[in-house]
Amino acid sequence: MPTEDQQPLILSRDEHSLSRKKIDPDALKVLYRLHRSGYKAYLVGGGVRDLLLGKQPKDFDIGTDASPDTVRRLFRNSRIIGRRFKINHVYFKGNKIIEVTTFRAEVDSDEETEDVEPVVRDNQFGDDESDALRRDLTINGLFYDISDYSIIDYVGGIQDLNDGIIRIIGEPERRIREDPVRMIRAVRHAARTGFEIEPVTYNAIRDLAQQIELSSPARVHEEVIRDLTGCHAREAFKLFDKTGLLPYLTPIISEAIQRDPKNVWKCLDHTLAQIDKMSASVGPGSVGTYFAAMLVGVAGVEELRDRVPESLADEVAPFFVESAGELAQYAALPEPLEKLERASAPTLRGPVRRSSRKKVKKSDLRRTIDALYLPLQITRRERDVMEDALRMRFAMITATMSAEPDERQEALRVIRKSPLFSAGLKLLRLTARGENAELLDEWESVSADRQHKSAKDVKREKKKRTRRRRRRRKRSDRADSEE
């Protein structure tokens, strides 16, 4: 790590592999306009890191010494946002946003870190060096200067990129206490890149893991979602467990691992691998479905009784089981079709008028979901998706168990028509293994049949609309001729 009196490492255009051809054209427009207006214009953070690693960045963020008001004047298609620290969003076609941030001053760690202090300090502008030193990881503290196409490194990020090291900038313990969310980010980038976490940083995370409870639940929730949907959930959750963060992020999963490490990790490893596969193939899926998938095979009756009232444990346990055999232990099904119809019916959704809001009662399953995922504070939308997916998956497994052929065929008919069918099938795809792999094949064929019928219905409806238009046109022509 460079000390304060050391000069930054500057790599000229010939000494690095970053090419402007890989930078988004709209980001280049912003960089060049800032530069031509006499201001520093750097591509910063993850964009530089990913381009040096040969990856295509998701975002292209820009740092400058121009004030937010100056940037606003330079770009009419921009808007200043943020209360804690003002930044500029420059808008382009296709809902594209290029974020432009004025260099910030480095946080003075000798000051008291009361809740109100970071807001005051973060609104202090600085220079490019202070901005680099206040970032989280060395590999995220690199700048690409559009004026001469050089890379500026104040924090040793180039060396760490070459060595495959994840390192927190500055003294890890002090920086983690300033912002505990940096621990999650260190784990994310280690999982995403395959790099090793530097020993001092790793030990600081293990020692201070409980500090994550001091962070805003909304911020922690957002960071965990980025890990779940970023195609590296499998490695991220392994590192959460190794670094001691998992008990403070998802306690129920941590408790299940402690109870039965081998079997629980076998289930989780399969599920998280499927989540990564789904995110990579079709883009990030529904976060609620991902959360529900992790609970299946993990939320046993032991965990449920520790986290929800005992009266609810036996009632909701069937929704989390992995197989038909386990389901039979918890659920007596004398009238399977009746239970299927209830499970496949859509639950109450949408806005509720104030006058009737108090009358809406949470289902046992929804109350259980709230309790299981604390302290993440699952959003209402995610909770709804989890409940729908778990109910429909329960209906699918129960239908497969039905012994009577007539009941089984009737159950298939009910489920096929349910608006929740796709949610249950997606959850089954994420969790099916062992005997459920055959069950999944059956429901995939049901899905294909449903899609085929749906395509026929669309074609039939199109023909009906065409016939109606022709009849209206004939009536209109007849009326014109009579006149």
Q: Which two tokens stand for residue 353?
A: 């008028």
Q: Are strands 196-197 and 165-166 parallel, antiparallel or unpaired?
A: parallel
CB 96 within 8 A of CB 71: no
The Cα 222–Cα 242 span in angstroms is 21
Q: Which residues of 394-423 are buried (b: 16+ CB within 10 A; e: fewer)?
A: bbbbbbbbbeeeeebebbbebbeebebbeb
The Cα 224–Cα 221 span in angstroms is 5
Confirm whether 61 is a catalytic residue: yes
Residue 124 carries which side chain, given as an amino acid letter?
Q
HSE-CB for 346 with a 13 A CA cutoff = 10
Confirm whether 136 is a catalytic residue: yes
Helix axes 199-208, 181-193, angle to 10 degrees: 130
Largest Cα span, the chain: 96
The Cα 209–Cα 211 span in angstroms is 5
**Catalytic, out of 65, 136, 227, 384:** 136
User: Residue 42: how many CB atoms within 10 A of its CB?
Assistant: 28
The Cα 395–Cα 389 span in angstroms is 10
The Cα 297–Cα 317 span in angstroms is 10
The Cα 391–Cα 296 span in angstroms is 12
Q: What are the phi and psi torsion angles at 310 (to 5°)?
A: -60, -30
Q: Which two tokens stand for residue 289?
A: 């479905």
**Which segments of 25-156 does DSSP mark as H helices, in order?**
25-36, 46-52, 68-74, 117-122, 128-133
Q: What DSSP state is assigned to residue 352?
A: -
**Catalytic, out of 50, 61, 241, 276:** 61
Task: Note the Cα 83 to chain centre separation in Å.
Answer: 24
CB 32 within 8 A of CB 146: yes
Confirm whether 145 is a catalytic residue: no
- Which residues carry out catalysis? 59, 61, 136
